[in-house]
């Protein structure tokens, strides 16, 4: 810990000792994430399949949490255990959240306890952009454990000059109706379900020539009361004992340094959640769970580090997370997680056709758990990447990262990647409209603390002899666009994994994790979208999009072969998305608005490795409408699951039917 802090301070000291210079000319359109930096502060060209959710999309969707946002904007697969505040997993190319690297402003955020990331702990209104990179071993952030891909959540933005204030309030209603209690008696409609969930947000931002400040605050009260079909007894029930309330705050401060290019960025967030967690999907009893997290971060961004052809980024962050779980039968399970992370990245441009990227990251994990004990681990790695352009239309990116973890039987493991990007330069109006990407990579992930050391009860035991999850993959993609009228993207991907970790029942009925997972994935991810110009009426254009993912997986564990035709649990073979976007007016008129209608279809899924238990296909239809009322107010409404589809996302955990959200946002600018 001490060497990392000393290194960071040594970098900062000479910068603060520089003489003051004249004030910068502030560019109000300059977002930190779109500058010349390396990760958070810049978006380098990548050979991998990448999707972005913008601030505008986040504001328009008004999703209850990040899982719903990514599903409705990017058509990603989501597996969740109910309504707001319950566990939710994102699926990328057949891999769940435990095998996806989640970053906050470029800093790894996955829990060392179970490798997951709690998607409901971040305020969506504080997010400026979300980047989703598909496939393992990325060269943009060079983080470990990304078997399925990387999701980077960017919260940092340089504020415009002056003071900005804003707030929002919304209510989500579930449709009341008659139902049957567990004892068979009839239950009358609960009209209080019309005010089932409330969301409150507020923010303040201030910008000056040399610095800017932003603060966000949010709070939620979710009853999670809704009607559902009990498939076991073929009765309509009402969901209870799943109430959630939580709140959080985030803060970011950006200070320009005297060299006119470098910046100090201090940011962080605090979250508190009080949750009733049902012991099973249809249970009438619930456990009590309390979540607390604190994540401060300090970053030095130097787009020009001592010379024009050199850029540097250094960050030091600390994360403390506490989870208290109290089962209905009594007892308590407490997990205190401490993570200290230091990252240093460098970019060097020795030639116009060559960029060298290198860096290192270090993470110290310390866990104090009633079910695991006192555990600690050191992990991280060093990487070297070259971006070589032998021609203006062709880019080659070879990269290798040496990852380490201690204690581990494999203390250092090389993780290579090779990527190609080609932009054929056609003549005429289709010039520079085609991009072809090709990647080959290794994916690698060390076991987490739960898999290695769990001993909290009599029927579950960790396995300290587990091997890391390993695999190889590749993809080939093409994208073609013609102005704003049409965009077509398609990526074929394939990945092989071995030593995948799965929990299974052994002798004496004891459940423990084993390296029994071997699987092969093949898939095609395609999207077509565009705009249709409109010359008459209040509308200027109509946006249309259609996406489709085909995922064919073969589970080659437990004695299964290709002929067994067994699929990875919870990964549908077909996922389809579609949207219709109709905007009107313009922001300056104070009367702008939009209507967005989206649909999401997931095909047949299986909840176990034997593929015996089936989860039937489901289709969700959603609609969002926003209308600006004058300069400072915007009214919004969202109807989710319009068709009132009865479905389960995770086995035996019913999902809400139709819900209606109505709210208003206020924004005030003081120049």
* Structure confidence at residue 24 as a pLDDT band (50, 70, 90): very low
**Residue 519 burial (CB count, 10 A):** 22
CA 475 from chain centre, in angstroms, equals 21
* Structure confidence at residue 428 as a pLDDT band (50, 70, 90): low
Count of positions (residues) in the chain = 671
**Residue 434 burial (CB count, 10 A):** 17
* Structure confidence at residue 281 as a pLDDT band (50, 70, 90): confident
CA distance 499 to 451: 13
242: left (phi over 0), alpha (psi -120 to 50) or beta: alpha
185-244 pLDDT, tens per residue? 999 999 999 999 999 999 999 999 899 999 999 999 999 999 999 888 889 999 999 999
Q: What's the pLDDT score for residue 227? A: 94
CA distance 344 to 47: 22
166-190 pLDDT, tens per residue? 999 999 999 999 999 888 899 999 9
- What mean pLDDT is reported for the chain? 88
Out of 256-260, 270-274, 339-343, 467-471, which region has the weakest mean confidence (pLDDT)? 256-260
The more confidently predicted of residues 503 and 77 is: 77
Q: Which residue has the tokens 């070297």?
A: 384
DSSP state, residue 95 = B
Q: What's the pLDDT score for residue 30? A: 39
CA distance 348 to 17: 24
Q: What's the pLDDT score for residue 40? A: 62
- By CB neighbour count within 10 A (0-12 exposed, 13-18 middle, 19+ buried), where does 386 fall? middle
CA 485 to each of CA 72, 452, 530, 541, 605: distance values in angstroms, whole numbers, following the listed order: 22, 52, 5, 10, 35
Out of 428-432, 491-495, 520-524, 592-596, which region has the weakest mean confidence (pLDDT)? 428-432
Residue 233 structure tokens: 């007894």
CA distance 557 to 499: 10
CA distance 469 to 146: 11
CA distance 28 to 590: 20
CB–CB of 93/519 below 8 Å? no
Q: What's the pLDDT score for residue 162? A: 94
Q: With 60 as the cut, is the pLDDT of residue 163 above it? A: yes
Helix (H, G, I), strand (E, B) or coil at 605: strand
What burial letters (b/e) apply to 78-88, b meaning 16+ CB within 10 Å?
bbbbbbbbbbb
- Minimal CA–CA distance to 192: which of 172, 219, 169, 220? 172
CA distance 198 to 191: 15
CA distance 585 to 590: 8
Residue 223 structure tokens: 């009853």
Helix (H, G, I), strand (E, B) or coil at 196: coil
CA 58 from chain centre, in angstroms, equals 13
* Structure confidence at residue 588 as a pLDDT band (50, 70, 90): low
**Residue 532 burial (CB count, 10 A):** 11
Q: What's the pLDDT score for residue 255? A: 94
CA distance 350 to 64: 47
Strand 162-174 with 197-207, pairing:
antiparallel
What structural domains does the chain harbor? 2-670 (2.40.170.20)
CB–CB of 156/265 below 8 Å? yes
CB–CB of 525/497 below 8 Å? no
CA distance 238 to 284: 10
Q: What's the pLDDT score for residue 350? A: 93
The more confidently predicted of residues 305 and 577 is: 577
Residue 204 structure tokens: 């303040």
CA distance 75 to 669: 34
Helix (H, G, I), strand (E, B) or coil at 432: coil
* Structure confidence at residue 647 as a pLDDT band (50, 70, 90): very high
CA 585 to each of CA 46, 495, 533, 541, 638: distance values in angstroms, whole numbers, following the listed order: 35, 46, 14, 11, 20
- Minimal CA–CA distance to 555: which of 569, 543, 545? 569
CA 442 from chain centre, in angstroms, equals 22
Q: What's the pLDDT score for residue 12? A: 38
| Rg of the chain on CA atoms, in Å | 25
CA distance 306 to 159: 26
Q: What's the pLDDT score for residue 25? A: 37
* Structure confidence at residue 37 as a pLDDT band (50, 70, 90): low
Could you tell me what percentage of the chain is helix, strand and coil, using 3-state DSSP and rounding each to the nearest 5?
10, 55, 35
Residue 19 structure tokens: 């003489």
Q: What's the pLDDT score for residue 7? A: 35
CA 154 from chain centre, in angstroms, equals 10
505-522 pLDDT, tens per residue? 777 788 888 888 789 999
CA distance 557 to 501: 11
In sequence order, what are the residues at sequence separation of 6 or more whose Cβ sits closer than 8 angstroms to the Cβ of residue 17?
none
Q: What is the pTM of this model?
A: 0.91
CA distance 529 to 480: 11
283-310 pLDDT, tens per residue? 778 899 999 999 999 999 998 888 889 9
256-265, 407-416, 617-626 — most confident range: 617-626
Strand 186-187 with 197-207, pairing:
unpaired
CA distance 137 to 109: 17
Instruction: Report percent pLDDT > 70 for the chain.
Output: 92
Residue 84 structure tokens: 């707001």
Q: What's the mean pLDDT in 614-637?
A: 95
CA 355 to each of CA 137, 360, 394, 398: distance values in angstroms, whole numbers, following the listed order: 19, 17, 14, 11
Q: With 90 as the cut, is the pLDDT of residue 627 above it? A: yes
Q: Which residue has the tokens 């993470």?
A: 363
549-568 pLDDT, tens per residue? 999 999 888 889 999 999 99
Q: What's the pLDDT score for residue 571? A: 94
CB–CB of 540/553 below 8 Å? no
- Minimal CA–CA distance to 469: which of 146, 160, 10? 146
- Minimal CA–CA distance to 168: which of 119, 129, 123? 123
């Amino acid at each position: 810990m001490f060497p990392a802090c000393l290194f960071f301070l040594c970098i900062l000291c000479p910068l603060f000792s520089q003489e003051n210079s004249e004030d910068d000319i502030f560019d109000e359109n300059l977002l930190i994430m779109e500058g010349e930096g390396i990760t958070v502060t810049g978006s380098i060209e990548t050979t991998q399949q990448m999707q972005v959710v913008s601030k505008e999309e986040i504001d328009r969707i008004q999703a209850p949490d990040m899982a719903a946002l990514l599903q409705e904007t990017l058509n990603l697969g989501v597996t969740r255990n109910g309504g707001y505040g319950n566990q939710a997993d994102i699926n990328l190319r057949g891999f769940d959240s435990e095998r996806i690297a989640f970053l906050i402003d470029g800093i790894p955020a996955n829990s060392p306890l179970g490798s997951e990331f709690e998607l409901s702990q971040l305020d969506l209104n504080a997010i400026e952009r979300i980047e989703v990179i598909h496939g393992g071993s990325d060269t943009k952030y060079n983080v470990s454990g990304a078997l399925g891909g990387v999701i980077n959540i960017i919260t940092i933005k340089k504020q415009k000059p002056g003071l900005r204030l804003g707030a929002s309030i919304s209510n989500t209603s579930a449709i009341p109706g008659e139902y049957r209690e567990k004892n068979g008696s009839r239950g009358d409609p609960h009209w209080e379900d019309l005010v089932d969930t409330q969301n409150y947000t507020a923010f303040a931002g201030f910008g000056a020539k040399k610095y800017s400040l932003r603060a966000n605050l949010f709070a939620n009260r979710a009853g999670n009361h809704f009607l559902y079909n009990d498939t076991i007894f073929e009765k309509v029930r009402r969901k209870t004992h799943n109430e959630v309330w939580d709140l959080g705050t985030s803060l970011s401060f950006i200070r320009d340094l005297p060299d006119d290019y470098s910046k100090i960025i201090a940011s962080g967030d605090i979250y508190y959640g009080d949750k009733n967690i049902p012991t099973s999907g249809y249970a009438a009893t619930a456990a009590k769970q309390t979540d607390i997290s604190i994540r401060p971060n300090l970053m030095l961004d130097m787009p020009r580090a001592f010379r024009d052809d050199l850029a540097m980024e250094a960050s030091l962050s600390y994360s403390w997370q506490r989870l208290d779980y109290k089962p209905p039968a009594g007892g308590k399970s407490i997990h205190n997680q401490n993570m200290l992370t230091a990252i240093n990245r460098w970019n060097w441009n020795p030639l116009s056709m060559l960029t060298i990227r290198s860096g290192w990251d270090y993470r110290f994990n310390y866990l104090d758990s009633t079910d695991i004990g006192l555990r600690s681990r050191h992990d991280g790695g060093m990487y070297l990447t070259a971006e070589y352009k032998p021609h203006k239309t062709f880019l080659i990116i070879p990269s290798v990262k040496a990852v380490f973890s201690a204690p581990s039987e494999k203390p250092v493991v090389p993780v290579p990647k090779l990527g190609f990007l080609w932009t054929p330069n056609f003549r005429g109006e289709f010039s520079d409209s085609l991009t072809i990407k090709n990647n080959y990579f290794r994916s690698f992930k060390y076991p987490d603390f739960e898999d290695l050391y769990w001993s909290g009860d009599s029927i579950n035991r960790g396995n300290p002899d587990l091997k890391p999850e390993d695999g190889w993959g590749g993809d080939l993609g093409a994208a073609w666009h013609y102005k704003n009228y049409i965009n077509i993207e398609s990526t074929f991907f394939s990945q092989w994994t071995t030593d995948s970790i799965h929990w299974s029942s052994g002798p004496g009925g004891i459940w423990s994790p084993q390296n029994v997972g071997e699987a092969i994935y093949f898939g095609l991810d395609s999207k077509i979208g565009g705009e249709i110009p409109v010359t008459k009426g209040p509308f200027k254009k109509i946006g249309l999009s259609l996406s489709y993912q085909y995922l064919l997986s073969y589970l080659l564990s437990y004695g299964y072969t290709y002929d067994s035709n067994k699929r990875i649990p919870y990964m549908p073979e077909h996922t389809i998305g579609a949207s219709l976007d109709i905007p009107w007016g313009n922001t300056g008129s104070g009367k702008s608005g939009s209507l967005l209608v989206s649909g999401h279809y997931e095909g047949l899924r299986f909840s176990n490795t034997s593929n015996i238990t089936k989860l039937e296909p489901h289709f969700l239809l959603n609609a969002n409408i926003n209308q600006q009322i004058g300069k400072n107010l915007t009214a919004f409404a969202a109807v989710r699951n319009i068709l009132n589809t009865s479905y389960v996302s995770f086995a035996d955990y019913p999902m809400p039917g139709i819900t209606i959200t109505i709210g208003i946002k206020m924004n005030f600018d003081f120049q």
